[in-house]
Amino acid sequence: MSDWVQELHSSIHTAEQLENHITLTPEERAGLENIEGTFNWGISPYYASLMDPDDPSCPVRRQVVPRIEEMHDELGVWDPLKEEDHSPVENLIHVYPDRVAFCISSICPTFCRFCLRKRMVETFGNSISEENLQEGYEYIRNTPAIRDVLLTGGDPLLMPDERIEEIVGKIHEIPHVQLVRIGSRSPCTLPSRITDELCERLARYQPFWINTHFNHPKELTPEAVAACGRIVDHGIPMGNQTVLLKGVNDSAAVLKELGERLVAARVRPYYLYQCQVLKGTAHFRVEVERGVQFMRELRGRTSGFAIPQYVLDTPYGKVPLNYQYMRKREGDHVVLETFSGKIWREPNPVCTPCKA
């Protein structure tokens, strides 16, 4: 049995097991007692080792240990992006004309408390059925507009190597598919899963990308950085998505350090997601205006490519959430605000046809 499978078998699924790692607070204990039957939970031994045993505000701990606040969320819904309404085939989400997300796994090494797919994700469970897979391939084959396929879940990398390669290979051979991507949090929550053998197999299907998910600099341990390094060393580019979470990363300083350390690990910060109005996540949500302010504080103060695009995902696609640097037009100039607040008037004559 490989190391990572062995590690998964020792995952934490009971309060007693969790107490071997941390001293539970009353809120966490009540969370564990009350969420059963409503929300799943589970933590890989590796990710648990990153939690501060005595500090309930530890950003790693907040992401994965259930709290009673999850049961008090009047606004949250189970499927805020209405993904099920956008699924022509079960588990295949088609929102943009040229892209689909295919949820091929319902298993994750660690169950994030803010997971968008918590309605379908399990810590122990099944991957997609063969019949569902075939329906997905057929839909992609019959839809020539699709050029980009994201394999997601759950975490597709919890499948055996051969199975992942078979699925990636089948999609890769569809003539109009230009790009296959996998979304996986394993580099962050189970870095032992990222073996050289897995990377070698995936690198055969270029262009191939991996999108991962780090939310806090504390997660960028030597093990996680080495896992990302193995992927990149095999010629697979990596992007990172982060969810903006109250009490985890809701400050410009934390986002700056995260972006810079991701870049140092050769992972490009890609999206910063506004936390969805998802059941059980009221205590994580940050006001959009604060998120925009963090982005404003980052601009000009770190490398541009260390700054992700802040977005709100909606049932109709992602909406960029940007600070408005373009103030106004003044005659043949456009008035801009620079990162430091200085105003710049850029010549920008209106072209004659437009004047007409």
Site string for ligand SF4, 281-300 (x = CB under 6 A): --------------------
Restricting to residues 172-191, name those near ligand SF4 by CB under 6 A: 185
- As to burial, measured by CB atoms within 10 angstroms (0-12 exposed, 13-18 middle, 19+ buried), residue 7 is middle
Q: Pick from 51, 121, 224, 278: which binds ligand SF4 (CB under 6 A)? A: 121
Q: Which is nearer to ligand SF4, 132 or 322 (CB)?
A: 132
Q: Are 265 and 312 in contact, with CB atoms under 8 Å apart?
A: no
Report the chain's C-alpha Rg in angstroms.
Answer: 22
The Cα-based distances of 211 to 98, 127, 152, 241, 271 in angstroms read 18, 19, 10, 7, 10
Q: Which is nearer to ligand SF4, 150 or 298 (CB)?
A: 150
Of the ranges 14-22, 107-115, 142-150, 193-201, which one interacts with ligand SF4 (CB under 6 A)? 107-115
Site string for ligand SF4, 137-156 (x = CB under 6 A): ----------------xxx-
The structure tokens listed for 355 are: 């004047």
- Nearest approach, Cβ of residue 119 and ligand SF4 (Å): 10
**Distance between CA 59 and CA 219 in Å, rounded?**
9
**Distance between CA 94 and CA 287 in Å, rounded?**
28
Site membership for ligand SF4, residue 239 (CB under 6 A)? no
The SS3 call for residue 256 is helix
Q: Which is nearer to ligand SF4, 174 or 181 (CB)?
A: 181
Site membership for ligand SF4, residue 117 (CB under 6 A)? yes
- As to burial, measured by CB atoms within 10 angstroms (0-12 exposed, 13-18 middle, 19+ buried), residue 100 is buried
Of the ranges 108-116, 198-206, 268-276, 324-332, which one interacts with ligand SF4 (CB under 6 A)? 108-116
**Distance between CA 155 and CA 157 in Å, rounded?**
5
Q: Which is nearer to ligand SF4, 107 or 298 (CB)?
A: 107
Q: Which is nearer to ligand SF4, 59 or 154 (CB)?
A: 154
> Does the CA dihedral 337-338-342-347 come out positive or negative?
negative
What residue type is 249 in one-letter code? N
Identify the CA nearest to 236 among candidates 193, 269, 203, 263: 203
Q: Pick from 48, 81, 112, 238: which binds ligand SF4 (CB under 6 A)? A: 112
CA 148, distance to chain mean position in Å, is: 17
Site membership for ligand SF4, residue 219 (CB under 6 A)? no
Site membership for ligand SF4, residue 157 (CB under 6 A)? no
Q: Pick from 8, 115, 254, 306: which binds ligand SF4 (CB under 6 A)? A: 115
Q: Which residue is nearest to ligand SF4 (CB)?
A: 115
For ligand SF4, the binding residues (CB under 6 A) are: 108, 111-112, 115, 117, 121, 153-155, 185, 213
